[in-house]
A and B are shown apart, each in its own frame.
Chain A
């Protein structure tokens, strides 16, 4: 057996283990460890090979976890858990309602904008949906909106959190593919806004046609301006995080920490108790260790792949395909959409990127390619950023599609009177909006790449 064949065989084992429900991090670590034992035993006999493999695998948990760039993750997660206690949601929604309520479907439009605003302090799509289901849905129902629209707009609006910085999933992407964390986070900003605008367009169109979302009028300019101060803390956090990245005033970890600190202070000012801080920290620690375990577990497997030479072989295979690079790219994105229906976004990304990413880069013409010589008309670095945003958008899409669109289940869970099928049905227009958005991002990559390019 050649190392390559061992690589293929163990990858098959990993797939089977993941599908039958072994926890992904450990399934990957197991596969990697056994693969390393096989490879080294082939080279130097089992007695020596076993220990070499053991020692090689044993370096990875520490080596790969203790990476400065990853230290931003818990700060982002903490911001998300504290944001609820800081009470940003109500003020944001109130302001959005007063300013945008007059549009057809105005409160739904306001919900989109306030979820987008909340996305700037929350890195977690599912949590955003949960928070807004409590705040926005009752008001929309009271204003005569249908259950279907008001629940769906919350589920869909929640998905913006992973694109608009801070976003844990974009940090993980950046580190896995060794690109600048700051650039990836900034790159998500415009696509997030773009997605929100497409949602708004769809809402206005659907509301005008169906008439199930009356406009809310009658707010005076005075009332509108009175709603602004309540949103100032969130604007401060957004400014800290955005400026830190965009102007390089602070590293991502520093920016995330500053943001978390501000949210913490606001949350205490709004009456958060120490017990609740403890709870938020406990949850942050749990989610953090889950992500880190996934990272090092999968990287044990990736180290084995490195010795087996598999990523290079897959890269050669993709590049040798006869199809146009655009067809290949769309197929890869569709594969992510299908995979995302059954797997959690972060797990899917960590598991697939080590093999898929080098292939995508090679497809474009290599890491150092110039825009002029490339297949997709962008430099290697721009392509890395563009692909990252697209993949995250695909993963987000799966949060509002059956069978396990978690955002829909969460909204329905917060509102026991709204069956989940109703939420899924309401999400159809938003699914269409997302497909349009992805088409837009494929056709106009500069929506993604322009801000990071401005950073230099």
Chain B
């Protein structure tokens, strides 16, 4: 404990897992904030769920046990219904930059802010995730009908989409995915590339759906509203100004995941499936009713659901 250099303000950040590409923007944020305040504002990262289980991060934020946290909207759709709009299938997000753009637009919406305010939380920045393409073992799927009867690990909205094309969503924990595919408990699993790598799915996979791009999960970084409001103006400014460099750093780091990903697919001889435009259109068609069902459910919950989805689609198209 180096008391002499103690910061004036220390924030704790609740994170799960180890340090990885997914957390690099928070590392960068802490660095930037410290530099901009001469070390007076310290942001301390706690990995491994030391401060909270990932699914309870919003709870911890709500009563101020820690000032900042990361979570994924799909971990608890009903805690953050407004964020799940970005997890709907086939929104047409093609890269992480678009994901950042649409996230920021969504965070500015009053309905979304009100949704998170119930947890005393303010959305600070996204952790943009690539599309959850499927990697699997066995016959390479060429068309939508090849997914009929296939047991897949796909949660939430992605699971609904796969169900719509006849696949059978099957409960498997992330860490059990490798063994489950190897033994045929499931035939495929949907993850972002870094997760396919870290859960070793790529080691047992025969194929990967390169351009299916069915959707992704949305994982924001939030701060406790009171803690944010109590910050002196200079520190608040330093925090706000650090967000863009942090995200830029994240995008750079995540790009390096692909430096490993493509050679890994090549060297393991994993077939990269590219679906034709007609096939992709057929998939996207299945997403229509899921979007409609989402609008109906969330409108009933009092969200301006149609407006949010339209805004998201418009931002993506811009």
Residue positions of A touching B, CB distance < 8 A:
2, 4, 40, 44, 48, 51-52, 55-56, 59, 63-64, 68-69, 178, 180, 182, 247-251, 303, 306-307, 311, 367-368, 455-456
B260 at the interface (CB under 8 A from A): no
CA distance A368 to B60 in the complex (A): 29
The 3 closest A-B pairs by CB, nearest first: A248-B179, A306-B50, A248-B183
Query: Which residues in B have their C-beta under 8 angstroms from that of A248?
Result: 176, 178-180, 182-183, 185
Q: Are A51 and B183 in contact (CB under 8 A)?
A: no
Q: Are B65 and A56 in contact (CB under 8 A)?
A: yes
Query: Which residues in B have their C-beta under 8 angstroms from that of A48?
Result: 64
CA distance A51 to B64 in the complex (A): 10
Q: Are A52 and B183 in contact (CB under 8 A)?
A: no
CB pairs A–B below 8 angstroms (29 shown): A4-B1, A40-B65, A44-B64, A52-B65, A55-B59, A56-B60, A59-B56, A59-B60, A63-B52, A178-B48, A180-B175, A182-B176, A182-B179, A247-B183, A248-B180, A248-B182, A248-B183, A248-B185, A249-B183, A250-B185, A303-B51, A306-B46, A307-B51, A311-B50, A367-B18, A368-B18, A456-B179, A456-B182, A456-B200
Q: Are A69 and B173 in contact (CB under 8 A)?
A: yes
B203 at the interface (CB under 8 A from A): yes
Q: Are B63 and A51 in contact (CB under 8 A)?
A: yes
Additional A-B contacts beyond A59-B60, A63-B56 (15; CB < 8 A):
A48-B64, A52-B63, A55-B59, A56-B63, A59-B56, A69-B173, A182-B176, A248-B176, A248-B178, A248-B182, A249-B185, A251-B172, A307-B12, A307-B51, A456-B179
**Residue ID in chain B nearest A54 by CB atoms:** B63
**Residue ID in chain B nearest A51 by CB atoms:** B63
Query: Which residues in B have their C-beta under 8 angstroms from that of A178?
Result: 48
Please report the number of residue pairs spanning A and B whose Cβ atoms sit closer than 8 angstroms: 64
CA distance A409 to B1 in the complex (A): 49
Known A2-B1, A248-B183; judge A55-B65 contact (CB<8 A): yes
Q: Are B51 and A306 in contact (CB under 8 A)?
A: yes
Query: Which residues in A have their C-beta under 8 angstroms from that of B18?
Result: 367-368
**Residue ID in chain B nearest A68 by CB atoms:** B173
Query: Which residues in B have their C-beta under 8 angstroms from that of A306?
Result: 46, 50-51
**Residue ID in chain A nearest B50 by CB atoms:** A306
Query: Which residues in A have their C-beta under 8 angstroms from that of B40?
Result: none
Q: Are B176 and A55 in contact (CB under 8 A)?
A: no
**Residue ID in chain A nearest B184 by CB atoms:** A249
Query: Which residues in A have their C-beta under 8 angstroms from that of B200?
Result: 456
> Smallest Cβ distance from B101 to chain A, in angstroms?
34
In chain B between 138 and 191, which residues have their CB closer than 8 angstroms to a CB of chain A? Answer: 172-173, 175-176, 178-180, 182-183, 185
> Smallest Cβ distance from A323 to chain B, in angstroms?
25
Choose from B3, B59, B176, B178 the contact partner of A456 (Cβ within 8 Å).
B178
> Smallest Cβ distance from A169 to chain B, in angstroms?
20
B28 at the interface (CB under 8 A from A): no
Query: Which residues in A have their C-beta under 8 angstroms from that of B173?
Result: 68-69, 251
**Residue ID in chain B nearest A367 by CB atoms:** B18
Q: Are A59 and B52 in contact (CB under 8 A)?
A: yes
Query: Which residues in B have their C-beta under 8 angstroms from that of A68?
Result: 173
Q: Mark B195-230, 1 if CB is under 8 A from A, else 0.
A: 000001001100000000000000000000000000
